C-alpha cells in the first residue's frame, strides 16, 4: 500500500452562468479554481482549475437533450464528455439518463416551500491531490471509482437545499505520480450529506 496522507482536503469557488440563449437552447458554463491538498505543503501542484460547458436542447415540454464536456484537470482524467437526456413524464418523476451521473428521481412529498425527492443513480467519482511524502518532497495522487447511490433531496425555489446519500463504491484505483504501480483498494460504502444554495 502506498504511503498516503490519512486526510486530504479540497476547497473551490465556482463561477457559473446558466443562460437561455434561445427558447429551445440553454447553456451551463462554469469555472472553479480550487486547492486540493493535505495542507502540509504549499506546492502549485495543489492548484486545479475545473470547469464545464454543457448545452441543453429542449426537444419537447418533457424531454431535454444535454451535450457537453467537463474539464477535471486531473492526472488520470483530464476531459470527460457529458451527454444524455432528461425525461420528465410526470411532475413526480424525473429520468436523468446522463453520462457520467445518471439517476432516476421520484418526488415523495411537498411541504411548502420544499419538495422532497428520493433517487437512485450512479456516479464516476474521484479526484487529484498534492501531498507531502515522508521525506518532505511533494507528490500527487489520483483516485477514481464508480458509485451506486441511493439518496434523498430537499429542493426549494429559493433558499438552502440539502441532500443525504448512501452508496456502494467499487472499481477503486489510486495512481501516484511518482510510482507506476497502481493500488486498488477494496470496495466500500459511502455516506454523504450536503447543502447548496
Host domain of residue 35: 9-196
Rg of the chain's alpha carbons, rounded to an integer? 19
**Is residue 119 in some structural domain?**
yes
**Is residue 1 in some structural domain?**
no
Give me the pLDDT at residue 30, please. Answer: 98
Q: Which residues contact 121 (CB under 8 A, 6 or more apart)?
A: 96, 101, 102, 103, 104, 148, 149, 151
Give me the pLDDT at residue 157, please. Answer: 83
**Is residue 3 in some structural domain?**
no
**Is residue 4 in some structural domain?**
no
Q: Which residues contact 22 (CB under 8 A, 6 or more apart)?
A: none
Closest C-alpha to 161, from 123, 195, 114:
195
**Is residue 118 in some structural domain?**
yes
What is the tens place of the pLDDT at every residue in 41-72?
A: 888 999 999 999 999 999 999 999 999 999 99
Residue 1 confidence (pLDDT) above 70: no
Q: What is the pTM of this model?
A: 0.88
Give me the pLDDT at residue 179, please. Answer: 83
Closest C-alpha to 72, from 130, 27, 126:
126
**Is residue 185 in some structural domain?**
yes
DSSP, residue by residue, 13-32: --EEEEEEEETTEEEEEEEE
Give me the pLDDT at residue 197, please. Answer: 76
Q: Which residues contact 135 (CB under 8 A, 6 or more apart)?
A: none
Find the mean pLDDT for residues 98-111.
96
Find the mean pLDDT for residues 89-117.
96
What is the tens place of the pLDDT at every residue in 126-183?
A: 999 999 988 888 999 999 999 999 999 999 987 789 999 999 999 999 999 988 878 9
Closest C-alpha to 71, from 36, 32, 108:
32
Count of domains for the chain: 1
Amino acid at each position: 500500500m502506498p504511503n498516503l496522507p490519512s486526510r486530504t482536503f479540497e476547497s473551490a469557488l465556482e463561477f457559473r452562468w446558466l443562460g437561455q440563449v434561445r427558447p429551445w437552447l440553454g447553456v451551463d458554463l462554469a469555472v472553479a479554481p480550487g486547492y486540493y491538498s493535505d495542507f502540509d505543503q504549499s506546492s502549485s501542484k495543489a492548484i486545479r482549475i475545473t470547469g464545464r460547458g454543457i448545452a441543453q436542447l429542449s426537444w419537447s415540454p418533457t424531454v431535454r437533450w444535454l451535450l457537453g464536456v467537463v474539464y477535471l484537470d486531473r492526472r488520470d482524467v483530464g476531459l470527460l464528455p457529458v451527454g444524455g437526456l432528461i425525461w420528465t413524464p410526470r411532475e413526480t418523476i424525473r429520468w436523468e439518463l446522463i453520462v457520467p451521473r445518471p439517476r432516476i428521481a421520484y418526488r415523495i412529498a411537498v411541504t411548502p416551500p420544499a419538495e422532497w425527492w428520493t433517487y437512485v443513480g450512479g456516479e464516476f467519482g474521484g479526484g487529484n491531490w498534492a501531498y507531502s511524502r515522508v521525506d518532505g518532497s511533494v507528490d500527487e495522487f489520483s483516485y477514481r471509482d464508480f458509485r451506486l447511490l441511493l439518496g434523498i433531496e430537499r429542493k426549494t425555489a429559493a433558499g438552502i437545499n440539502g441532500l443525504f446519500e448512501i452508496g456502494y463504491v467499487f472499481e477503486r484505483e489510486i495512481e501516484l505520480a511518482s510510482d507506476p504501480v497502481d493500488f486498488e483498494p477494496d470496495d466500500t460504502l459511502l455516506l454523504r450529506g450536503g447543502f447548496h444554495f
